[in-house]
């Protein structure tokens, strides 16, 4: 019940907002718009017919408004590519107008870069085989660099273990996904989650989290 109350409060705050800022001491400093976007909750309450989710529960997430994200994200928790990797050296991602322009760091950064580049070229191979129309292929390729999700972990018992379904729920973290979004207006072949630890989050300038601690 406490988790359900917290997720509802965070979702309410995000649904009434126009913009979100996220910063960390490691260098994350990103702003994005959320107007017209609806926050979704995974609170573990699956009692209603047809309702479902994944476990452990405990997150609020949404698709940033298209072409609004600009700044820097430094992933330092885990990163999901073909499988989930725990990060040994922070992965610095530079974003302009909603899209990644640069990926820097160690071996995990190189793996993310290769993952994105593959998602940029594969749609055109699919188009050649008739599996995608040319315009679809162009959109899928472009959106391989899209920032498709922002989420806030709210489960105090979850830990970063190298499994995205638990990692993204950890209280004191946020996550961003590279690629496809949930609102279906930016489709890609990938949706790769990266975890950011101990963030400071402000919604329309009002603090929501300070260095990983909720200040609702």
What CA–CA distances, in Å, run from 98 to 2, 67, 184? 34, 4, 15
Q: For 21-65, how does the pLDDT look when each residue is reduced to its tens digit (9 = 90+)? A: 999 999 999 999 999 999 999 865 555 565 556 557 899 999 999
CA distances from 121 to 43, 112, 158, 181 (A): 37, 15, 36, 19
| This prediction's pTM | 0.94
Does the pLDDT of residue 69 top 90, yes or no?
yes
Residues with Cβ within 8 Å of residue 131, at least 6 apart in sequence: none
Number of residues that make up the chain: 216
Query: Would you tell me how many other CB atoms lie within 10 Å of the CB of residue 55?
Result: 12
Residues paired with 20 in a beta bridge = 32, 203
Q: What is the pLDDT of residues 97-140, one digit of tens each?
A: 999 999 999 999 999 999 999 999 999 999 999 999 999 999 99
Q: Which residues contact 1 (CB under 8 A, 6 or more apart)?
A: none
């Amino acid at each position: 019940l406490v988790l359900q109350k917290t997720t509802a409060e965070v979702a309410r705050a995000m649904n009434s907002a126009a913009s979100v800022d996220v910063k960390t001491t490691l260098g994350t400093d990103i702003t994005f718009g959320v107007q017209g976007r609806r926050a979704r909750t995974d609170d573990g309450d699956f009692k209603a017919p047809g309702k479902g989710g994944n476990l452990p529960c405990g997150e609020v997430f949404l698709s940033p408004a298209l072409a609004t994200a600009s700044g820097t994200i430094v992933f330092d928790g885990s990163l999901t590519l073909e499988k989930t990797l725990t990060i040994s050296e922070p992965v610095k991602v530079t974003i302009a107008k909603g899209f990644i322009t640069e990926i820097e760091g160690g071996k995990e950064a190189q793996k993310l870069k290769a993952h994105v580049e593959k998602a940029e070229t594969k749609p055109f191979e699919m188009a050649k085989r008739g599996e995608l129309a040319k315009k679809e292929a162009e959109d899928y390729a472009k959106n391989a660099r899209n920032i498709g999700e922002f989420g806030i972990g709210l489960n105090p018992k979850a830990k970063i273990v190298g499994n995205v379904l638990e990692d993204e729920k950890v209280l004191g973290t946020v996550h961003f996904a590279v690629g496809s979004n949930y609102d279906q207006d930016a489709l890609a072949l990938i949706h790769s989650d990266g975890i950011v630890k101990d963030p400071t989050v402000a919604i329309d300038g009002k603090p929501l989290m300070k260095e990983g601690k909720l200040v609702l």
